[in-house]
Chains A and B, each alone.
Chain A
Amino acid sequence: MRTVNQRGWLFVLPVLLLVAFNALVPLMTVVNYSVQETFGNNQFFWVGLRWFEEILQSERFHAALGRQMLFTVTILIIEIPLGVAIALAMPRRGFWVPVCLVLMSLPLLIPWNVVGAMWNIFTLPDIGLLGYTLNNVLGIDYNMTQDPFAAWITVIVMDVWHWTSLVVLLSYAGLISIPEAYYQAAKIDGASNWSVFRHIQLPKMKRVLTIAVLLRFMDSFNIYTEPFVLTGGGPGNSTTLLSIDLVKVALGQFDLGPAAAMSLIYFAITLAVSWLFYTLMTRDDR
């Protein structure tokens, strides 16, 4: 049991100061912008909740949000089961385990814009390995700078390439923490492979899977650099996800007020969904 000790605050203080400095000040700035109108030259006018109303009703925001939702749901549906399946197929011990883990972690350690650039080079229709193979060897017409569907698929495949390993690592960690006795007992009880998965592996992976889904949800909802470098949001607006749209508004058009209001709406959605999900997934434990 943990003892009640208000000295805890003293220990947390450095973290508190550092995170508050980084989180609260910018957040206050954003809130401040979100209720004002600017005409450059640092002139600001109070506009109340006008930006919020406008954004919540704007087609553009709805479209970006829709694309974002579609993207996030798609990658979750692919990455979570795929990651779990790969983790299940991995050997539990032996020489190959660290080798697999190191190779699988590589994509996680590549700077995000390099990931985008790498996939750009990889998919160029004339000189990229994937693009060339699809067009000239398999005879599939593929050019993601012109075809929105191809661009979508590419962005999703890139994200699967980039992040599935995180799900694998987390699931694998959950799997190896299951004591051997559980598998032995299941064997003796005559459980099928499906039963072992359903009643032993899945429950024991629940905690790490909660983390995996949460992390993947948050990060995919905030994704910016990789798709921006890969497609620039195009062709047209087809791969303009929320963050890309936001930066277009904020920097491209210098509409600080709407951009700030948009950020806050966007932040609120992330928070609400994460909270809801966290509560649902951990409900049984309390």
Chain B
Amino acid sequence: MARITLDNLKHSYSANPVSMDDYALKEIDLDWTDGGAYALLGPSGCGKSTLLNIISGLLNPTSGRVLFDGEDVTALPPDKRNIAQVFQFPVIYDTMTVYDNLAFPLRNRGVDRKQIDNRVHEIATMLELTDSLSTRASHLTPDNKQKISMGRGLVRNDVNVIMFDEPLTVIDPELKWKLRSKLKELHQSIASTMIYVTHDQTEALTFADQVVVMQEGEIVQIGTPIELFERPLHTFVGHFIGSPGMNILPVEMVDGSVRFLDHPVELEGPVKDSKGSLEIGIRPEYVRIGTKGIPGVIRKVADIGRRTVIEACVNDILVNAITEEVPPETGQEVHLEFEPSQTRLYTDSWIATEVGAQ
């Protein structure tokens, strides 16, 4: 178990990076405490897998350092770092039995047989694989294969960190939540540091205590799931998290007050910086449909169970709202009200309001 520090990490896949665009990772500084559950969240190609591979030692960063418990491991190969990694597709050794698969990392490290046997049984019980220990691993279903991949990481009790690289991609939807809760349970029982990489917000938000949101090789926000949802620091986070994501609406600053299509909008607090392109962000959950406020027309109404997602049009700009009340009908003219405490101003995509009374 270890604390993981990333110090000024940069990585480029080209040999001679010229501009910032050549970097897959632009500048990463992070500090993860021992025993935490973390998620790296971002769309495909945002650099999260690159970051993961640098932590595991499969890639050498162009510059910067990786520290485990304050010790520089940047130059160490993967097998010397005592880490475990679970990949997108289940990696199993086809020719071996489930038992041998689980024992493999221990045997390679010369652990004695008695201890291996205990450890394998212990982990198999945890993963509910005891019944299939003697079957050939290639005969298992994808979710069980993925369990073995996890198991190979878990058997070693010296691991600093276990990393998951989109591990549920090939798992059937109904089994996904099962494996996910299994993971959560495992984290609680063995208390090792875990890093989970995904582009699926549900997976990230349910697994992790703290989520790192990445975009184009940069970290845009680090926070608990609630923080990311409630107060995105960047419009990208607002947009990426939530379903549908945050409404990001263009606004203008007229005489010190913010106007959305000439309608005045009240913000959560004082504005720090208003030089640049201005937008407001408001979650659909906090858009109320009523009789006063900004006039709009209902475009689409979608029932998502307990709640209803409503698409309204203000001039030509779409605004989403979520309501638990009886929804209006398509074509109906309504008024939209933004909850001031949940309305934030973004300047050049970064948050520009402070919490507090105006």
| Complex contact flag A–B (Cβ < 8 Å) | yes
Does A94 make an interface contact (CB < 8 A)? no
Q: Which A residue's beta carbon lies closest to that of B165?
A: A181
Does the CB pair A188–B89 fall under 8 Å? no
Enumerate chain A residues within 8 angstroms of B95, measured Cβ to Cβ: 199, 203
Enumerate chain B residues within 8 angstroms of A181, measured Cβ to Cβ: 87-89, 91
Does A65 make an interface contact (CB < 8 A)? no
Enumerate chain A residues within 8 angstroms of B53, measured Cβ to Cβ: 184
Does the CB pair B88–A189 fall under 8 Å? no
> 1/0 contact trace for B86-99 toward A, CB 8 Å?
01110101111000
User: Could you tell me the distance in whole angstroms from the C-beta of A161 to the nearest C-beta in chain B?
Assistant: 33
Does the CB pair B93–A199 fall under 8 Å? yes
> 1/0 contact trace for A232-248 toward B, CB 8 Å?
00000000000000000
Q: Is the interface of A mostly helix, strand, loop or mixed?
A: helix
Does the CB pair B93–A187 fall under 8 Å? no
Does A32 make an interface contact (CB < 8 A)? no
- Number of A-B residue pairs having CB atoms within 8 Å of each other in the complex: 53
Partner of A188, one of B85, B88, B93, B96: B85
Does the CB pair B152–A189 fall under 8 Å? yes
Does the CB pair A190–B96 fall under 8 Å? no
Enumerate chain A residues within 8 angstroms of B56, measured Cβ to Cβ: 184, 188
Does the CB pair A191–B87 fall under 8 Å? no
> 1/0 contact trace for A139-181 toward B, CB 8 Å?
0000000000000000000000000000000000000000101
Enumerate chain B residues within 8 angstroms of A46, measured Cβ to Cβ: none
Partner of B105, one of A179, A182, A190, A199: A190
User: Could you tell me the distance in whole angstroms from the C-beta of B149 to the nearest C-beta in chain A?
Assistant: 7
Does the CB pair A188–B79 fall under 8 Å? yes
Q: How far is the CA of A191 from the CA of B83 in the complex (A)?
A: 14
Does the CB pair B96–A185 fall under 8 Å? no
Among A184, A190, A199, A204, the most chain B Cβ lie within 10 Å of the Cβ of A190
Does the CB pair A185–B77 fall under 8 Å? no
Does the CB pair B77–A192 fall under 8 Å? no
Does B350 make an interface contact (CB < 8 A)? no
Does the CB pair B96–A184 fall under 8 Å? no
Does B141 make an interface contact (CB < 8 A)? no
User: Could you tell me the distance in whole angstroms from the C-beta of B110 to the nearest C-beta in chain A?
Assistant: 9
Does the CB pair A185–B87 fall under 8 Å? yes
Q: How far is the CA of A179 from the CA of B94 in the complex (A)?
A: 14
Enumerate chain B residues within 8 angstroms of A185, measured Cβ to Cβ: 85, 87, 91, 149, 152
Does the CB pair B78–A184 fall under 8 Å? yes
Does B84 make an interface contact (CB < 8 A)? yes
Chain B interface bracket (under 10, 10 to 19, 20 to 34, 35 or more): 20 to 34
Q: How far is the CA of A185 from the CA of B86 in the complex (A)?
A: 8
Enumerate chain A residues within 8 angstroms of B96, measured Cβ to Cβ: 199
Partner of A184, one of B85, B104, B108: B85
Does B109 make an interface contact (CB < 8 A)? yes
Q: How far is the CA of A204 from the CA of B83 in the complex (A)?
A: 26
Enumerate chain B residues within 8 angstroms of A195, measured Cβ to Cβ: 108
Does B190 make an interface contact (CB < 8 A)? no
Does A200 make an interface contact (CB < 8 A)? yes
Q: How far is the CA of A253 from the CA of B96 in the complex (A)?
A: 57
Partner of B108, one of A179, A190, A200, A204: A190
Q: How far is the CA of A199 from the CA of B94 in the complex (A)?
A: 8
User: Could you tell me the distance in whole angstroms from the C-beta of A41 to the nearest C-beta in chain B?
Assistant: 63
Does B20 make an interface contact (CB < 8 A)? no
Does the CB pair A188–B108 fall under 8 Å? no
Q: How far is the CA of A204 from the CA of B93 in the complex (A)?
A: 10
Q: How far is the CA of A23 from the CA of B53 in the complex (A)?
A: 56
Contacting residues of chain A (188-233) with chain B, CB-CB under 8 angstroms? 188-192, 195, 199-200, 203-204
Q: How far is the CA of A193 from the CA of B7 in the complex (A)?
A: 32
Does B191 make an interface contact (CB < 8 A)? no
Q: How far is the CA of A188 from the CA of B58 in the complex (A)?
A: 9
Does the CB pair A188–B109 fall under 8 Å? no
Contacts known (A181-B89, A195-B108); A188 close to B94, Cβ less than 8 A: no
Contacts known (A199-B96, A200-B93, A203-B95); A189 close to B108, Cβ less than 8 A: yes
Q: How far is the CA of A175 from the CA of B87 in the complex (A)?
A: 19
Among A181, A189, A203, the most chain B Cβ lie within 10 Å of the Cβ of A189
Does the CB pair A184–B58 fall under 8 Å? yes
Does the CB pair B79–A184 fall under 8 Å? no
Does the CB pair B89–A179 fall under 8 Å? yes
Partner of A191, one of B77, B84, B104: B104
Q: How far is the CA of A199 from the CA of B96 in the complex (A)?
A: 8
Enumerate chain A residues within 8 angstroms of B88, measured Cβ to Cβ: 181
Contacting residues of chain B (34-81) with chain A, CB-CB under 8 angstroms? 53, 56, 58, 77-79
Contacting residues of chain B (215-262) with chain A, CB-CB under 8 angstroms? none
Per CB-CB distance, the 3 closest pairs between chain A and chain B, nearest first, are A190-B108, A181-B87, A190-B79
Given A185-B152, A188-B56, 11 more A-B residue pairs with CB atoms under 8 Å apart are A181-B88, A181-B91, A184-B78, A184-B87, A184-B91, A185-B87, A187-B58, A188-B79, A189-B79, A199-B95, A203-B94
Between A and B, 7 residue pairs with Cβ closer than 8 Å are: A179-B91, A184-B91, A188-B78, A189-B108, A191-B104, A199-B93, A199-B95
